[in-house]
Each structure stands twice: as C-alpha cells, then as structure tokens.
Amino acid sequence: MTSKSKIAINRDNNRRRLLLSLRSDNWLLSRLDLIWTKYFSDIPQTNKVFIKFGRNAKFRLGSIRLDKQIKASYITITSMFKDPKIPQEVIDHTIGHELVHYAHGFSSTHPRLHKYPHAGGVVRKEMKERGMEYFFNAYKIWMKEYRKQILANR
Ligand SMILES: [Zn+2]
C-alpha cells in the first residue's frame, strides 16, 4: 500500500467516525428504537411514527403530534440537542417523555388514558414505573444548569 492510499483510508475512517458521532435524524430514530424496545415493549406500534429535529427551540424541547388524515405520529426534538455537550440522557428523557404521551393515547392511535397529557404528574410517574428514573434525574440536573444559563444571558 502506498502512503498516499493509506492517508486516503485514514481520512475515510475519520469521516465515518465523525458521521457516526453526529446527531442526525437517523441517530434520533436509533435512540427512539432503543428506548421503545427497552422501556415500552408492551406498547404496540399501531401507526407510523416519525422522529426528527425541528427548530432550535429553547423551551419546547420535544413534542408529539398526530396527523389525523394519514394517522401518523410525528415526534419533534429541538435542534438545540444536536450539541454534543448536551448529555445523551437528556435527549433520551425527552424521547421517553413523548413516548409516554404516545402510550397514554395522546397524539397516537391508542385509547386515551387521561383527560390531559400532563394530568397530576402522570408522565413522570409512568417514566418512574418503567425504570426511566435515571433519565429523569439526568434531565433535572441538566435543566438546573440550563435555567441558570438562560437567566444569566438575559
Ligand atoms: Zn409532555
């Protein structure tokens, strides 16, 4: 192998590594898949579910909506979370939160279990029961710092 082709292969490997480490819509989908399999395996996927990064929202970290015509659910995650400095658990927490809504019949084709999506702390309770307390704690720690930052930048 010539040293020139060696350099080319190294460059290729570096690019591959960079692509794998980037937070893309595909990366989000792999997180959703993993979280669904690990924590929501009892919740059948009864319609198409899409996930993607949306605008760079500071306060609305995630959302889920149902397109009633084609019966597809769309999860949107703030683009702020593309920043590798934000712990992965924080993003996993956001995806888990939206999946709880899905499981409770909000923006999904499942029967609705509550009158309001956040009634009486049902989301947190559900996450705890499903063993996702770890995500919630990581989120809480991050949110505390994030709030401080936002207040400092005002
Ligand atoms: Zn919510």
Provide the mean pLDDT of the chain. 92
Report the distance separating Cα 121 and Cα 146, nearest Å. 22
CA of 63 to the centre of ligand 1 (A): 7
- Predicted confidence (pLDDT) per residue in 63-122, tens digit: 999 999 999 999 999 999 999 999 999 999 999 999 999 999 999 999 999 999 999 899
Write down the domain spans for the chain.
23-152
**pTM for this model (two decimals):** 0.86
CA of 116 to the centre of ligand 1 (A): 10
pLDDT of 1 reads: 63
Report the distance separating Cα 110 and Cα 108, nearest Å. 5
Q: What is the mean pLDDT of residues 48-76?
A: 97
pLDDT of 16 reads: 66
Report the distance separating Cα 9 and Cα 95, nearest Å. 36
User: Residue 136: pLDDT band by 50, 70, 90 thresholds?
Assistant: very high
As a CATH number, domain 23-152 is: 3.30.2010.10
